[in-house]
Amino acid sequence: MYIERHISERLKKLVNTFPVVVVTGARQVGKSTLLRHDYGKKFDTVVFDPVLDIDNAKQDPELFLDNHPAPLILDEAQYVPELIPALKRRIDKNRQSGQYLITGSQQWGVLKTISESLAGRAVFMDLNAFSLAEINHQSPWLEAWLKNPEKIIRLKPLKNKKSIPLYEQLWRGFFPDAQKIPSIHIPDFYQSYLRTYVERDVRLMADISDLQLFGRFVRLTAAMTAQEINHSQLGRELGLTPQTSKRWSDILKAGFQWMEIDPFYGNVIKRISQKSKGYLTDTGLICNAQAISSPRAIGGHPLFGALFETAAAMDLLKQSSAMATPPHFYHWRSHGGAEVDILLELDGRYFPIEVKAYSQPSGRHLTGIKAFRETYPQLNTGPGLVIGPFAAFSALSKRDYAMPWDAVLA
């Protein structure tokens, strides 16, 4: 059964406006499925391969395009960089909207070439794995909250008998295929995913002589999810230089496996941390990389809090990607220890968000949010949220609220 993607409406508007739309995202997040479902009846599709020269696209791109007229879906186009100049020439002759849909799983290489060569002709859209609302066929809440928080949007926790319990959802992760695989095969899915990513995608993206060591690096970053990034520490654990650690982190970002949130420091730089915060982008991958063998093992695991924060942070990112103007993401931490896990900025207003893996919300969870407001009294700060596995939406103060992590619009 196809699960509707919240980004579909935005995709439709982009296709109706631009000649080329490039849909990017990690391997197996559903890029091809989305395009086939929404445009498969209107567009022909060509799926490229890293080894085979499909229909001679590499050797003779002009002839390939002659035989595959628009509208056309070019799936995994990073394997055919030779096609881009020919595509550019055709777009320059005809700027009609909705001619080509392109997918790719890497942020550099040919996708960088597409961005540079088709500037003003193509628009990029990132697709992530499923959001919690998509999995449960519900409406997301973030955009409504950011645009009118004072109205206290009618939010409710998910009441769906088919919804997956928290521990199992974190362990299963959010990839589309992982939602329908029997639990016994989830470890096999992620082991295969990681092996394919390292041995195929990374080998094509970068000159890394020791892929086994890179695999260990991925497992180490999984243990460091939801923490500030220290490349010296990451490198030291594996005998790498800080420069190599930084380069390998960039490779993970290029493959959409790693996300970093910039620090917010305003005008008090001396007292505020300037390190970015990093997340491995799927909790199922983290669990597999850390040898967490079952949902039950998550409850007492030292990484439970980091897993939950990762899931919440990524869900906010997934919801924001469907917005025409997504908010900027930051994190904030003072050298005194006060912190705000996620800070969203939209229209000059800042929304502090704390993520807590507790079942009962408490006023003590507002410590970081209050410290942020005291540090920046001049900022236009909106209501704060504490997101957790709570049973209900509730007020924690006059300006701050407890939000169930599975909240949906009523």
Domains for the chain: give ranges and CATH numbers: 8-126 (3.40.50.300), 132-409 (no CATH)
Q: How far is residue 400's CA from residue 206's CA, in Å, rounded to a whole number?
A: 45
- Tell me how far apart the alpha carbons of residues 374 and 31 are, in angstroms, rounded to a whole number: 43
Alpha carbon distances (Å) from 245 to 217, 238, 241, 303, 354: 8, 9, 6, 22, 29
**pTM to 2 decimal places:** 0.93
pLDDT value, residue 155: 65
Q: What is the rounded CA–CA span in Å between residue 168 and residue 294? A: 8
368: nearest Cα among 350, 394, 386 = 386
List of residues 6+ apart from 9 with CB closer than 8 A: 322
Q: Are 389 and 166 in contact (CB under 8 A)?
A: yes
CB atoms within 10 A of CB 397: 12
Amino acid making up residue 252: L
What pLDDT score was predicted for residue 55?
A: 86
Note the pLDDT of residue 152: 60
Q: Which helix (H) or strand (E) holds 326?
A: none
What angle, 0 to 180 degrees and rounded to 10, lies between the N-to-C axes of helices 31-39 and 8-15?
60
CB 183 within 8 A of CB 172: yes
In angstroms, the Cα distances linking 25 to 22, 100, 286, 293 are 10, 17, 18, 27
What does 361-405 look like in DSSP terms, one character per residue? Answer: --GGGGHHHHHHHHH-TTS-B--EEEEES-SS-EESSSSEEEEET
Per the CB < 8 A criterion, the answer to whether 386 and 403 are in contact is yes
Given this model, what pLDDT does residue 159 score?
A: 56
Residue among 176, 275, 257 at smallest CA distance from 215: 257
Residues in the chain, total: 410
pLDDT in tens, the chain (410 residues): 899 999 999 999 999 999 999 999 998 999 999 999 999 999 999 999 878 888 888 999 999 999 999 999 999 888 888 898 899 999 999 999 999 999 987 655 556 667 677 888 899 999 999 999 999 888 889 998 998 887 766 566 655 546 789 999 999 999 999 999 999 999 999 999 998 888 777 877 777 878 889 999 999 999 999 999 999 988 898 999 999 999 999 989 988 999 999 999 877 666 678 899 999 999 999 999 999 999 999 999 999 999 999 999 999 999 999 999 999 999 999 988 899 999 999 999 999 999 999 999 999 999 999 999 999 999 999 999 999 999 888 899 999 999 999 887 76
At 238 the three-state DSSP class reads helix
pLDDT at 410: 65
User: Residue 80: how many CB atoms within 10 A of its CB?
Assistant: 21
